Amino acid sequence: MSHLPAVGTWRQCPKCQRNVHRLEWGSLQICPHCGYYLRLTATQRLQQLATEFQPLPEITAAAPFAFPGYQAKLAQAQQQTGATEALTAGVATLQQQRFMLGVMDSHFMMGTLNMIVGARLRQVIAAAKTQQLPLVLVIASGGARMQEGILSLLQMNTVLAAYDDLNAAGNYTLNILTDPTMGGVSASFAFAADTVIAEAGATIGFAGKRVIQKTSREPLPPAFQSAASLYQQGQLDAVVARTDLAAVVGQLLRLHQRK
Ligand SMILES: [Zn+2]
């Protein structure tokens, strides 16, 4: 028997550096000392935004990709997260309202967009249309998954086309941009919703800060690519605290009910 605490009981806050007990992080994973948000897993997000959740039939890979080391990375991500891919989708209920919900998980290969994630996004978008339900996407992604090459980039326009189709049908759509929303995801469907809100503190952009700094050789403002600065520039409808997110989503769904 060891006198040391069980692994995973304490976690140092990346912002204030204090050691915080698992119970103190709470279900929303917020530092009790400085208010820092840890990134939520898809499971934690579902607990936050759905009182009931019925997953859609899960689309999986038809054939493995040959990119060196990719299969091992995928297997590791699956083992670490318990999920089969970086997007979980299904029919959700929140405050007695039904909607289609897709949740990306940055813990799964940084939530990168690949063929399966793209197929699952088109699936949840199509399901919203046929079932005449609103669509809510929780976005957390580093961009396209480069191991799948051009096929990952192809997801940008095919998902966006499906999204546009749903918008044209008149379904209410809501995207919640969380940390991080980057690359090909921010450049395609992330901003395609009727309402686009961000979780406070999220980094949202296309190319990473370091790449831009290197290319432009100009100093960047401290708030560069922050949810707050995007809101100030009119790119977002609102920036919402994690503690208020479920209430805000419920309110938006109620306000946009059909008839
Ligand atoms: Zn802290």
- Per the prediction, the chain carries an average pLDDT of 94
What percentage of the chain reaches a pLDDT higher than 70?
Answer: 97
The position carrying tokens 């199509």 is: 126
pLDDT tens sequence across 89-143: 999 999 999 999 999 999 999 999 999 999 999 999 999 999 999 999 999 999 9
pLDDT of residue 222: 83
The token pair at 87 is 């997007």
Alpha-carbon distance of 144 to 149, in angstroms, equals 9
pLDDT of residue 45: 97
Q: How far is the CA of 14 from the centre of ligand 1 (A)?
A: 7
Q: How far is the CA of 230 from the centre of ligand 1 (A)?
A: 24
pLDDT of residue 22: 93
Which candidate, 128, 190, 181, 129, places its Cα nearest to that of 155?
A: 190
pLDDT of residue 63: 80
Q: How far is the CA of 216 from the centre of ligand 1 (A)?
A: 33
Alpha-carbon distance of 208 to 210, in angstroms, equals 6
Q: How far is the CA of 7 from the centre of ligand 1 (A)?
A: 19
pLDDT tens sequence across 181-236: 999 999 999 999 999 999 999 999 998 888 898 898 988 888 899 999 999 999 99
Q: How far is the CA of 56 from the centre of ligand 1 (A)?
A: 36
Residue 2 has pLDDT above 60, yes or no: no
Q: How far is the CA of 128 from the centre of ligand 1 (A)?
A: 38
The token pair at 242 is 């994690």
pLDDT tens sequence across 172-192: 999 999 999 999 999 999 999
Domain ranges of the chain: 1-38, 40-255
Residue 1 has pLDDT above 60, yes or no: no
Q: How far is the CA of 200 from the centre of ligand 1 (A)?
A: 15
Residue 62 has pLDDT above 80, yes or no: no
CATH architecture of 40-255: Alpha-Beta Complex (3.90)
